[in-house]
Chains A and B, each alone.
Chain A
Amino acid sequence: MSSSPLRQRPALLRISMVALLLLWSLAPMLWQLYTSLRTPESLLAGLAGLGGGWTLANYSAVLQADPPFGVYLLNSSVVGALSTLLTLALAIPCAYALSRRSDLLKLVIGGGLLAAAVFPYVLLFLALLQVARQLGLANNLLALCLPYAGLSLPLAVLLLQAAFADLPVELEENALLEGFSLGQRLRWILLPLIGPAVASTGLLVFLFSWNEFPIALTWLSRSELLTLAPAMARIAGSSVFTVPHGAFAAATVLGGVPLLALLLIFQRQILAGLTQGAIKG
């Protein structure tokens, strides 16, 4: 890849392109960070008064609100973690079985999964809302993991299925000869080998569940149970005469930082998951 023909471009041009890219990607976030640290008066004064007007009051306001902002982060983490576990528990056996078939059924299921993976799931909210009403699943963080797992399954099964398919068949045949049961083969031979794929799939599912909005919006109404996304929307709607831009910005920073950290730590796995999805899908 280092032998790209574009290498001869003047370095200056490239540096300015990279600067532009970073400005485009980061400036909006940095502006939020800046806003979150400013007093309301200094925000209206423009860039003239950079000497003063710095404050942490916006953060304490958000963290001490009712309910405190940390609750939303906690709720999102719980839902994200449980949904990820549930999705993987369902997707791994399914992906394994699918990878070991080569018949019409596999084609049908594979096609269905692909269609479901692209499907704009917002269309499902009304039926899922009725499910929540009829089965009494509303305002329950554990129950929310069910639709989340269902919505994440198509991509998860496709990614894991591709990973299983990449493993040489002999590996499993040898294990079979040695008397390993199916569970043992999965646990001791196959899963360790597709570990990276499981990790990247899990991260993508976690990102989805953490960020999900329409289902959370309709399944949760009690403010102490809200996950991050509907909480942000509710904060956005609650502006009074003077909009508390500083506090809003502090909320966006607090809501964004955990995921940014996750992305920076696990960027390799996430990149692998995304690109694998692209190639296999």
Chain B
Amino acid sequence: MRSVALAGSEPGCGLRPAARQSWLAAGLGLGLALALLWSGLAWAGRPTTVRLLMPAPFADATAELVESFNREHRGLRIAVTRGPLETESVSDLAISSLLLGDSPYDLLLMDVTWTAKYAAAGWLLPLNDWLGPDPLAPLAAGARVGNVIDGNLWRVPMLADMGLLYWRTDLMAAPPRTPAELVAISERLQRQGKVRWGYVWQGRQYEGLSCVFLEMLRGFGGRWDNNGDGLNTPAATAAAAWLRQLIVKGISPAAVANFAEPEALQSFEAGEAAFMRNWPYAWQELQGPSSRVAGKVGVTMMVAEVGEPPAATQGSWGLSVLAGSRHPAEAVQVLQALTGEASQRRLVQRWGYSPTLTALFDDPALVAERPLLPILQNALESVALRPLNPGYAQLSDILQRQLSSVITGELEPALAMERAERGSQLLLEASGRGPEQ
């Protein structure tokens, strides 16, 4: 570069009389040389780009963090691809690239239920050797699970999410602790005409239904283990039957069979129901100007039979490094920055997300700002994990289908649960993980 600059500026160094022309030439030469030098420097110092695919809402929430990261790091740049809004579509987009063998991304923000599938497909980089000893130690216990499979760490959680029971503080002194109490309080309030419905939840045939069911399954003392077993049990039948009874007794509207989160929230927000099952995001919505229950809402754990600990289905988002990344070291650096304390603090303060780090739950200043944190921390201590199985999406689909038939009254709970278990077994057998293994 330098030699070019000297050669270019040479005419200007001469002291010949035809000064005008040579000065012009000198100016041009200098300009050219500077331009070349600048672009050369820019080329040499071109930052490594770490590409990150996230669902659109998280891309928005982290935009500010990414921007300040890029300002502070000269040689490293994060480029975020705003994925689709819908969770599964983000995964579809990533898979379509990964299947063809050259992934355009280094990092992926992953839902907890994808981890097993991606790890089994060989698409993720094990993080054990990159993050030092016990990188999950600073996390709340409930956020630690779901990241390590077969001894390898595949994912570091950034945000937590858990199923909660919302209740009306103006209608009762204390929230119910057992399924029977929830039913009794609902029926009393409905009789008194205080509310139209007792309890609204997510009954549509989709992933949310599996989450609702898992909490009740645990509440009745059951388990849905990583092999998809545990559905053909008395506890599972009791949980399914209880959900059906809610509709039969008129505690939940029949339309709950087509409710996802927004419909449940809408009904509860309008003051129609005494209880709602939802995720932490609903809290902020319920305090908004369009809410008729602002200031009258309490949050607690889902009900459970006496002697059974209440459970909250764990949903969380975490970062994974893709095995095909050409800059794994830089990708890990970005992963650490975005899942780190400063980053999570900002996401909690600005967007009301639930953190995963114990230090943040214990920070009095943050708790003063976000009073929900202790409840979230409590819920995070008793989370229920959906099966860590590479075929989870299909297992869940089989369950949802049978549960949907129970809720709409087409099938007896016991029979439906038997079919769900049988379907799960057939699936695993056909997938190459039969009972013989």
Query: Using a CB–CB distance below 8 Å, which chain A residues touch chain B?
Result: 129, 132-133, 138-139, 217-219, 221-222, 234, 237-241
Q: Is the CB of B57 within 8 A of A221?
A: no
Residues of B within 8 A of A241 (CB): 57, 85
Q: Which 8 pairs of residues, A with B, have the shortest CB-CB distance?
A: A237-B84, A138-B100, A221-B97, A240-B56, A237-B89, A221-B96, A238-B84, A221-B100
| Cα–Cα distance between A25 and B86 once the two chains are bound (Å) | 32
Residue picked from B57, B60, B93, B96, most chain A C-beta under 10 Å:
B96
Contact A221 to B60, CB < 8 A, known contacts A133-B99, A237-B84, A238-B85: no
State how many angstroms separate the Cβ of A255 from the closest Cβ of chain B: 19
| Cα–Cα distance between A238 and B53 once the two chains are bound (Å) | 12
Name 19 A/B residue pairs within 8 A (Cβ), A-sorted.
Answer: A129-B99, A138-B100, A218-B96, A218-B99, A219-B100, A221-B96, A221-B100, A221-B104, A222-B104, A234-B84, A234-B93, A237-B84, A237-B89, A238-B56, A239-B56, A239-B85, A240-B60, A240-B82, A241-B57
Tell me the residues in window 160-192 of chain B with beta carbons closer than 8 Å to chain A beta carbons.
none
State how many angstroms separate the Cβ of B171 from the closest Cβ of chain A: 32
Residues of A within 8 A of B96 (CB): 217-218, 221
Residues of B within 8 A of A221 (CB): 96-97, 100, 104
Which residue in chain A gives the minimum CB-CB distance to B97? A221
| Cα–Cα distance between A218 and B56 once the two chains are bound (Å) | 22
Residue picked from A132, A133, A138, most chain B C-beta under 10 Å:
A138
| Cα–Cα distance between A257 and B89 once the two chains are bound (Å) | 28
Which residue in chain B gives the minimum CB-CB distance to A240? B56
Chain A CB within 8 A of B83 CB: yes
Chain A CB within 8 A of B101 CB: yes
| Cα–Cα distance between A239 and B96 once the two chains are bound (Å) | 19
Which residue in chain A gives the minimum CB-CB distance to B100? A138
Which residue in chain B gives the minimum CB-CB distance to A222? B104
Which residue in chain B gives the minimum CB-CB distance to A217? B96
Residues of B within 8 A of A133 (CB): 99-101
Q: Is the CB of A139 within 8 A of B100?
A: yes
Which residue in chain A gives the minimum CB-CB distance to B88? A237
Q: Is the CB of B83 within 8 A of A132?
A: no
| Cα–Cα distance between A77 and B151 once the two chains are bound (Å) | 50
Residues of A within 8 A of B134 (CB): none
| Cα–Cα distance between A44 and B60 once the two chains are bound (Å) | 24
| Cα–Cα distance between A238 and B84 once the two chains are bound (Å) | 4
| Cα–Cα distance between A132 and B100 once the two chains are bound (Å) | 8
| Cα–Cα distance between A238 and B56 once the two chains are bound (Å) | 7
Which residue in chain B gives the minimum CB-CB distance to A66? B81
Which residue in chain B gives the minimum CB-CB distance to A219? B100
19 further A-B contacts with Cβ under 8 Å, apart from A129-B99, A238-B85, are A132-B100, A133-B100, A133-B101, A138-B100, A138-B101, A139-B100, A139-B102, A221-B96, A222-B97, A222-B104, A234-B93, A237-B84, A237-B86, A237-B89, A237-B93, A239-B85, A240-B57, A240-B85, A241-B57
Which residue in chain B gives the minimum CB-CB distance to A243? B85
Which residue in chain A gives the minimum CB-CB distance to B81? A223
| Cα–Cα distance between A237 and B96 once the two chains are bound (Å) | 14
Return the CB mask of B43-72 against A: 1 if under 8 Å, else 0. Answer: 000000000000011001000000000000
| Cα–Cα distance between A237 and B94 once the two chains are bound (Å) | 13
State how many angstroms separate the Cβ of B38 from the closest Cβ of chain A: 25
State how many angstroms separate the Cβ of A62 from the closest Cβ of chain B: 15
Which residue in chain B gives the minimum CB-CB distance to A230? B96
| Cα–Cα distance between A221 and B83 once the two chains are bound (Å) | 13
| Cα–Cα distance between A138 and B99 once the two chains are bound (Å) | 10
Contact A238 to B60, CB < 8 A, known contacts A132-B100, A221-B96, A221-B97: no
State how many angstroms separate the Cβ of A99 from the closest Cβ of chain B: 40
Residues of A within 8 A of B99 (CB): 129, 133, 218
Tell me the residues in window 281-316 of chain B with beta carbons closer than 8 Å to chain A beta carbons.
none
Q: Is the CB of B82 within 8 A of A238?
A: yes
Which residue in chain A gives the minimum CB-CB distance to B83? A238
Which residue in chain B gives the minimum CB-CB distance to A218? B96
| Cα–Cα distance between A239 and B57 once the two chains are bound (Å) | 10
State how many angstroms separate the Cβ of A120 from the closest Cβ of chain B: 21
| Cα–Cα distance between A139 and B104 once the two chains are bound (Å) | 12
Return the CB mask of B90-130 against A: 1 if under 8 Å, else 0. Answer: 00010011011110100000000000000000000000000
Which residue in chain A gives the minimum CB-CB distance to B104? A222
Residue picked from A129, A139, A221, A240, most chain B C-beta under 10 Å:
A221
State how many angstroms separate the Cβ of A185 from the closest Cβ of chain B: 45
| Cα–Cα distance between A52 and B84 once the two chains are bound (Å) | 32
State how many angstroms separate the Cβ of A71 from the closest Cβ of chain B: 15
| Cα–Cα distance between A139 and B97 once the two chains are bound (Å) | 10
State how many angstroms separate the Cβ of A23 from the closest Cβ of chain B: 33
| Cα–Cα distance between A241 and B86 once the two chains are bound (Å) | 11
Residues of B within 8 A of A219 (CB): 100
State how many angstroms separate the Cβ of A130 from the closest Cβ of chain B: 10
| Cα–Cα distance between A62 and B87 once the two chains are bound (Å) | 24
| Cα–Cα distance between A240 and B97 once the two chains are bound (Å) | 22
| Cα–Cα distance between A218 and B102 once the two chains are bound (Å) | 13
| Cα–Cα distance between A275 and B86 once the two chains are bound (Å) | 43
State how many angstroms separate the Cβ of B78 from the closest Cβ of chain A: 16
Residue picked from A218, A219, A222, A238, most chain B C-beta under 10 Å:
A238
Residues of A within 8 A of B102 (CB): 138-139
| Cα–Cα distance between A270 and B218 once the two chains are bound (Å) | 63
| Cα–Cα distance between A239 and B82 once the two chains are bound (Å) | 10
| Cα–Cα distance between A238 and B89 once the two chains are bound (Å) | 9
State how many angstroms separate the Cβ of A61 from the closest Cβ of chain B: 14
Residues of A within 8 A of B57 (CB): 240-241
State how many angstroms separate the Cβ of A220 from the closest Cβ of chain B: 8
State how many angstroms separate the Cβ of B75 from the closest Cβ of chain A: 23
Which residue in chain A gives the minimum CB-CB distance to B90? A237
| Cα–Cα distance between A240 and B102 once the two chains are bound (Å) | 27
| Cα–Cα distance between A219 and B86 once the two chains are bound (Å) | 22
State how many angstroms separate the Cβ of A234 from the closest Cβ of chain B: 7
| Cα–Cα distance between A238 and B55 once the two chains are bound (Å) | 9
Residues of B within 8 A of A234 (CB): 84, 93
| Cα–Cα distance between A132 and B93 once the two chains are bound (Å) | 17
